[in-house]
Chain A
Amino acid sequence: DIQMTQSPSTLSASVGDRVTITCRASQSISSWLAWYQQKPGKAPKVLIYKASTLESGVPSRFSGSGSGTEFTLTISSLQPDDFATYYCQQYNTYSYTFGQGTKLEIK
């Protein structure tokens, strides 16, 4: 199965900061990558799919890039609503593996 590794596991930042989360795949997944945001007690919400396509209704401060084995999620200017846990997920194969998550905390 394809392994997905996110870094960092925890990220402390302030409102207005620019932050980047990295996701690495154990083998090439082309651009078949999605990013999800999850808040405590809530279901995950898709932010980006196909590595860089913003899901409808998601603020433009979120962006994704990468292909092959290395991907990034960038939030250009953190807002209070953005403090949550973020997961990458590959959909190149049916194992649909998730990264272990990155918890974005308020500094």
Chain B
Amino acid sequence: EVQLLESGGGLVQPGGSLRLSCAASGFTFSTFAMGWVRQAPGKGLEWVSPISGSGGSTYYADSVKGRFTISRDNSKSTLYLQMNSLRAEDTAVYYCAKGQRSGGVQFFDYWGQGTLVTVSS
């Protein structure tokens, strides 16, 4: 059974940093792309960043480019999102999602339950 468990969310001040983790199990982690999607309170879904199975290919939404970094440790079956220079508008539930294959554009078929990030002073 595919399981994705996010952690690392919490309250952080504007300008601060946070690192999210997503521990994956139930599938061969290194052979699937992964990604992060967020949802601000009461709002819709926004793609943040996908990463290929090897980690060699990444993409960032304009809203986070230059501030967020996605990475993965295939030996630990774990996905990360390093978030720097956080802003109030980054407040959201952050979901980890699993892709259909290693690379290329694709849809994402399994999602974790999310971790809440609140940016506030």
Contact = CB atoms under 8 A, between A and B. Distances in A.
B105 A32 contact: yes
Interface in A14-70: 32, 34, 36, 38, 42-46, 49, 55
A34 B107 contact: yes
B20 to A, nearest CB: 15
B80 interface: no
Given A44-B45, A98-B47, A91 B106 contact: yes
Interface in B78-121: 95, 105-109, 111-114
A91 B59 CA distance: 13
Interface string B35-78: 10100000011110010000000010110000000000000000
B44 A87 contact: yes
Contacts of A49: 107, 109
A100 interface: yes
Given A34-B107, A43-B114, A46-B108, A94 B44 contact: no
Given A32-B105, A91-B105, A91-B106, A96 B47 contact: yes
Contacts of A44: 37, 45, 95, 111
A34 B95 CA distance: 17
Interface residues of B, number: 20
Given A43-B111, A43-B113, A98 B105 contact: no
Interface size, A (range):
20 to 34
Contact of A55 (B95, B109, B111): B109
Contact of B109 (A1, A46, A93, A101): A46
B112 A98 contact: no
Nearest to A32: B105
Given A34-B107, A43-B95, A87-B45, A96 B114 contact: no
A76 interface: no
B60 to A, nearest CB: 9
Interface string A64-107: 00000000000000000000000101011111111111000000
Given A49-B107, A91-B105, 5 more contacts: A32-B105, A94-B50, A94-B105, A95-B59, A96-B50
